[in-house]
Amino acid sequence: MFRILSSTMLCTLLFGCAQAPSSTNSSALNTLYDYQLYSPHTQPITLKQLVSSAEDADVILVGEWHTHPATHYFEAQLLHKLTVAKPKLALSMEQFSRDKQAIVNQYVDGEIGEQTLKQEANAWPNYSSDYRPLIEYAKTNNLDVIAANAPRKIVRCIGRKGTDYVASLPSEQQRWIATKINTEQSPYKTKFMGSMHHGDLAQNENQYAAQVTWDETMGESIVNYLNDHPDHLVMHIAGNFHVEDGLGIKASILRRNPDLNVLVISITSDPIEPKSDYQLQVLPMPPRYEQEQNRMAAYRKMMHHSATTASNSECQQ
């Protein structure tokens, strides 16, 4: 939920919806780099125990808060431990889109430098601080990196025009998103719609179509890779909303191949309660705003920026 100005995005950026809790039940968390892992039955576990539990997994989905230090520290440690335990491993990322796969491949293969990767592959603004360690580890250890996501421009236009927009795309660009985008009623759709506080029903339906385009594309990218590399394990990282409770990407994967074993790790700063996911407990991030006038000023600035930069003309083919 990083790239369209939806109500969900505004909620996360302005009101801290994903990180609101300010208490935790673990004494092990002292800094923003600290984390504690829990099993689905709320038992504290070590990283070694998690890797052992994932021995039979085909896919590990890691939910993150995109700028949380503990998230990225954990991801780097997990990637290393998984590589030791199962060398046939691929790293899959929300942070790169399918149309940039060739550029990502060139960087991992040592054919281009990092600045070219960042510019031509549209790396996220926090690439250098948060995602560089993963890519560098993959490069050093000859791991495939799957640019799993849908291009942001296409997703933005689906958010404005709905899935009918896809038919207007050239066939080459249609291959950059999932062949099937399921917008039917589901627990995931109920959860998403419950987070929407602005816009009419039609607007929210289009926003959901955009949201699920991410999930379907990432899920399909993972399944396609495993079809070609059935002996590999895929570790995929994405925003927590995309993976939490086995919704989003996991559901998309299992619709395409119900025989795959998908393990989910979601992130929280809440007290731990039983759920289907493994849980990564961290300290909450600092609040973005304490004063309402500052919060609303940021909201107005973002809305103005959206209105002046998001033109329907970019969705004309």
CATH number of the structural domain spanning residue 58? 3.40.50.11550
Q: Does any domain span residue 167? A: yes
Q: What is the mean pLDDT of residues 129-156?
A: 97
Residue 292 C-beta-side C-alpha neighbours within 13 Å = 0
DSSP, collapsed to helix, strand or coil, labels residue 151 as coil
Nearest to 123 by CA among 2, 235, 249, 248: 2
Q: Does any domain span residue 229? A: yes
The predicted pLDDT at position 254 comes to 98
Q: How confident is the model at residue 120 (pLDDT cuts 50, 70, 90)?
A: very high
Q: Does any domain span residue 311? A: no
The predicted pLDDT at position 26 comes to 58
Nearest to 162 by CA among 196, 216, 208, 218: 208
Q: What is the mean pLDDT of residues 26-36?
A: 89
Cite the beta strand spans of 65-194 per DSSP E.
89-97, 144-149
Q: Does any domain span residue 134? A: yes
Whether residue 162 is predicted with pLDDT greater than 80 in this model: the reply is: yes
Nearest to 182 by CA among 156, 217, 148: 217
Better pLDDT: 301 or 198 = 301
> DSSP per residue over 274-309, as a string?
--SSEEEE-PPPPPS-SSHHHHHHHHHHHHHHHHHH
Output phi, psi for 144, to 5 deg. -65, 145
Structural domain for 25, as ranges: 7-306
The predicted pLDDT at position 300 comes to 76
Better pLDDT: 57 or 11 = 57
Q: How confident is the model at residue 303 (pLDDT cuts 50, 70, 90)?
A: low
Whether residue 238 is predicted with pLDDT greater than 50 in this model: the reply is: yes
Whether residue 17 is predicted with pLDDT greater than 70 in this model: the reply is: no
Q: Does any domain span residue 49? A: yes
Whether residue 15 is predicted with pLDDT greater than 80 in this model: the reply is: no
The predicted pLDDT at position 195 comes to 84
The predicted pLDDT at position 311 comes to 57
Cβ 76 vs Cβ 97: under 8 Å? no
Q: Does any domain span residue 317? A: no
- Between CA 76 and CA 85, with CA 81 as vertex, the angle to 5 degrees is 150
The predicted pLDDT at position 267 comes to 98
Q: What is the mean pLDDT of residues 257-276?
A: 97
Domain count, the chain: 1
Q: Does any domain span residue 203? A: yes
The predicted pLDDT at position 89 comes to 98
The predicted pLDDT at position 316 comes to 74
Distance CA 285, CA 120 (A): 31
What residues are paired with 59 via a beta bridge? 234, 262
- Two tokens, residue 242: 């995309």
Whether residue 296 is predicted with pLDDT greater than 90 in this model: the reply is: no
Q: Which of 16-25, 64-73, 164-173, 277-286 has the lowest mean pLDDT?
A: 16-25
Q: How confident is the model at residue 313 (pLDDT cuts 50, 70, 90)?
A: low
Share of the chain above pLDDT 90, in %: 79
Q: How confident is the model at residue 10 (pLDDT cuts 50, 70, 90)?
A: very low
The predicted pLDDT at position 248 comes to 97
Q: Does any domain span residue 315? A: no
